[in-house]
Amino acid sequence: MRSSNRSRKSESAAWRARDRKVLWHPFTQHAAWDAEEFPIIERAEGSWLVDLEGRRFLDGVSSMWCTSLGHRHPGITRAIVRQLKKLDHATFLGLSHPPAIELAERLLARAPRGLSRVFYSDNGSTAMEIALKMAIQYWRQTGRPERTKFVALTEGYHGDTVGAMSVGGVDPFLDAYRPLLFPTLRAPTTYSYRCPKASTLEECAAHCIEDLAAILAKHAPEVAGVVMEPGVQGAGGMIVQPPGFVKSVEELCRKHDVFLVLDEVMTGFGRTGTMFACERDGVRPDLMAISKGLTGGFLPLAATLATERIFQGFLGEIRDRRALYHGHTYTGNPIGCAAALAALEAFDKERVLERLPAKVEALQKGLAPLESHPHVGEIRQLGLLAGIEVVKDKTTRESYRYEERTGHRVILEARRRGAILRPLADVIVVMPPLTATIAEIKKLGRIVRDSIRAVLD
């Protein structure tokens, strides 16, 4: 036993050494990574990841917000295997196939009303790039070529490709690339914890809407659309919006006839309690990007959904060259589509949405004791996602210094205690699979509480 334990440890160390020689990880300072004992994950099941040494970890961030139905979900696994025996891939340029057609039908049946066309791609960033290109080209082809700008919220995140970064508002992710980015109009966001104008979320949101109204009043003739994550901004720090906020944005968009471009990449597929976050306000976007939870977190697949009005703006004679000039090698990959179809089926069969409220409450109760902690500034939650903002000084709301890596130290502690988390600077993100059991969510809450106390007390 002892020796097999030892050999698994040395096997693990050997993989780490090989990783350090050849790999470059996302959002990672490798000088620090090389000193880290990162787990080598060998397998997974349900809410759990298991490393080569046999250590079990609760997947507390759904593997970066996508594993919504748990790892190796049996129905999705079966669907992928079944699809593999029929068709691995066929180009979507000039060809079509049943999984892509059926998935588009099912998605539109679930999506907010008014969306009637599905354009596939591979990830959230590309789904957003495509939405931006559709908006710009639509206006160009319908007599308003001067509508070339977007209004986006500060702290918004839409991906890491250049267009998605251009409408992004998380400055540390953008600073190195500014020369590449196109200009975007910025509206303030509902970050009431650090709002210069208001102390409550509702007041802060009202100011944001006033400012957005002013921006549109001045710039609407040159604006193609307003871009936002509905319900909660993810990578900006789990910044929640009050009910009615997205509706107010929609009303302003309608007033000025600019497109409402919703990024549901993180919020879609049940994360905030409804199938799509914009359902809370009964909003009908013109363009909507989805990805992460689309395949239940199994495969890279994304889609941009558009209204018939936008689609019609691309019709014309061949000589008019009005087609959407965009496509990826793996557009509409059949295996990804089969996985997504199985994920949608699992949503219904397993009554995932109906079972959420009890889990949402368990998460809220699990984190509530932290409210009084001297270094917990604010806990923000919407549905089965939460962000805990830790601060150096609770009274002045002063943040820790970046170099202290406070959030990172908390998640390393959580790892020792059996949960995988990933912070956004000093916001500890908690986002278990929607299929996690109440017992698993309670355990996760306990690990988060204990880790924050162990590091910050």
State both tokens at 352. Answer: 């995932």
| C-beta closer to ligand PLP: residue 201 or 265 | 265
Residue type, 33: W
* Triad 15, 19, 24: Cα angle to 5°: 160
d(CA 231, CA 382): 8
Go through 418-439 and write b for each residue having 16 or more CB atoms within 10 A of its CB, e for each that does not: bbbbbbbbbbbbbbbbbbbbee
- Which of 99, 159, 273, 336 touches ligand PLP (CB under 6 A)? 159
| C-beta closer to ligand PLP: residue 235 or 376 | 235
Say whether residue 266 binds ligand PLP (CB under 6 A): yes
Residues of span 195-254 touching ligand PLP by CB under 6 A: 229, 234-235
Written as one string, the DSSP assignment of 235-301 is: TTT-EE--TTHHHHHHHHHHHHT-EEEEE-TTTTTTTTSSSSGGGGGT---SEEEE-GGGGTTSS--
| C-beta closer to ligand PLP: residue 73 or 292 | 292
Residues of span 388-407 touching ligand PLP by CB under 6 A: none
| C-beta closer to ligand PLP: residue 261 or 338 | 261
d(CA 121, CA 229): 19
- Which of 62, 190, 291, 307 touches ligand PLP (CB under 6 A)? 291
How many Cβ atoms are within 10 Å of 397's Cβ, its own excluded?
13
Say whether residue 272 binds ligand PLP (CB under 6 A): no
Residues of span 120-139 touching ligand PLP by CB under 6 A: 123-125, 128
| C-beta closer to ligand PLP: residue 274 or 451 | 274
| DSSP state letter for 333 | -
Residue window 408-437: x/- pattern of binding to ligand PLP, with contact defined by CB under 6 A:
------------------------------
State both tokens at 406. Answer: 């406070």
Shortest Å distance, C-beta 300 to ligand PLP? 7
Residues in contact with ligand PLP, counted by CB under 6 A, come to a total of 15
| C-beta closer to ligand PLP: residue 128 or 223 | 128
- Which of 71, 73, 97, 158 touches ligand PLP (CB under 6 A)? 158
d(CA 281, CA 283): 5
Say whether residue 71 binds ligand PLP (CB under 6 A): no
- Which of 107, 238, 239, 265 touches ligand PLP (CB under 6 A)? 265
| C-beta closer to ligand PLP: residue 234 or 273 | 234
Q: Which stretch in 49-57, 144-152, 175-183, 263-271 sits in contact with ligand PLP by CB under 6 A?
A: 263-271
d(CA 127, CA 113): 19
* Triad 254, 256, 261: Cα angle to 5°: 60
Nearest residue to ligand PLP on Cβ basis:
124
State both tokens at 182. Answer: 């196109």
In what helix (H) or strand (E) does residue 219 lie, and over which residues does it extend? helix 201-219
Say whether residue 157 binds ligand PLP (CB under 6 A): yes
Contacts of residue 34, defined as CB under 8 A and 6 or more positions apart, other chains included, come to 20
Say whether residue 263 binds ligand PLP (CB under 6 A): yes
Say whether residue 443 binds ligand PLP (CB under 6 A): no
Binding site for ligand PLP (CB under 6 A): 123-125, 128, 157-159, 229, 234-235, 263, 265-266, 291-292
